[in-house]
Amino acid sequence: MLCQENYIPWYATDWWLNTLCGPQNWEVFFAEDSKGQILGALPVCQRRIAGIRLFLQPALTAYLHIWIKPPTSERAVYQNNRSQRILQDLAKQIPMAPLFDLQFDESLQNALPFHWQGFKNTLRYTYQFSDLSEPAKIYREMESSARNHIRKASDLLQIDPNAPATVLLDLVRKSMNRKNIAFRLTTERFQEITENIQQHATLKIYAAYNQEQEPQAAIAVIWDAKRASFWLSGSSQAGRKSGAIYLLLWAAIKEAAKKDLIFDFEGSMAPSVEAVFRSFGATRTPYYRLYRAKPRILSLLRI
């Protein structure tokens, strides 16, 4: 009901958590007022390993979202006190477990209530365009190297803005293999996920092809009513050298601009990826990773 009556980013909706976690493996903690009216909601995903309950980040999900009902007063002191109470209420409801390790988007700007409940936090970073009303200005103000990549790639490659999911999946696998990262997502499971996205939001897959019509790179962007999120990408070795990712990202940004959306790069902490995102000139935006673990788990994870 909450998702139907309020804007919740796609990555924290019931349909997404059902798809990625399974209906039995996630829950929501609610903060309510004295009349039972919902003031805040915190979704969590859980797994059981050897019968032990762990709260872990869903696969293919950069972060979750804590919803707080918009305040009725513009006074900063009222808003701060109110959000503090709501977050404290939510934090106290999270049960103790050997491990809690989740990330929340930029809407969470106060980690103190979680700190007081024994959680530790680290800041991570994404890049976002909150205003895409002037794409020409964005292009002028991005790094010259990014513009050079876009120009070079546009001379060599053709973009398909409605590429099939199979092309994306194949290129993602190639990228993961190149980095020696295990990628166990099956074709059938990937098809199930992408079909569910299409039922509830918009999935745009952009692919770049060379003159021989061989796919060089592909990216996936998920749109909802307010937000366009860079979700997945993959490339061939030749695609990496051609600057195809820059060209595809720029195509996605321009299309998001037509719909007046926020564009979120769903940032990576990997230096090479961060440098690509930073070159577009979006705003560096912090978000929290919250974690709480028993000492033995903590030492094993080296957090």
pLDDT, tens digit, for every residue of 246-291?
A: 999 999 999 999 999 999 999 788 999 999 999 999 999 999 999 9
- d(C-alpha 28, C-alpha 18), whole Å: 12
Q: What is the DSSP string of 34-48?
A: TT--EEEEEEEEEEE
- d(C-alpha 148, C-alpha 132), whole Å: 21
pLDDT for 254 equals 98
pLDDT for 298 equals 55
- Residues lower than pLDDT 70 in the chain: 1, 296-303
pLDDT for 300 equals 55
Contacts of 287 (CB under 8 A, 6+ apart): 63, 103, 104, 105, 106, 108, 123, 124, 125, 126
> Which residues partner with 262 through β-bridges?
227
Contacts of 296 (CB under 8 A, 6+ apart): none
For each of the domains in the chain, give its residue range(s) and CATH number, in order of start.
2-124+286-301 (3.40.630), 133-260 (3.40.630.30)
Two tokens, residue 67: 């919803």
pLDDT for 288 equals 98
- d(C-alpha 267, C-alpha 247), whole Å: 18
pLDDT for 50 equals 83
> Of all helices (H) and strands (E), which one includes residue 20?
helix 14-20
pLDDT for 38 equals 97
pLDDT for 182 equals 84
pLDDT for 299 equals 54
pLDDT for 183 equals 86
pLDDT for 171 equals 97
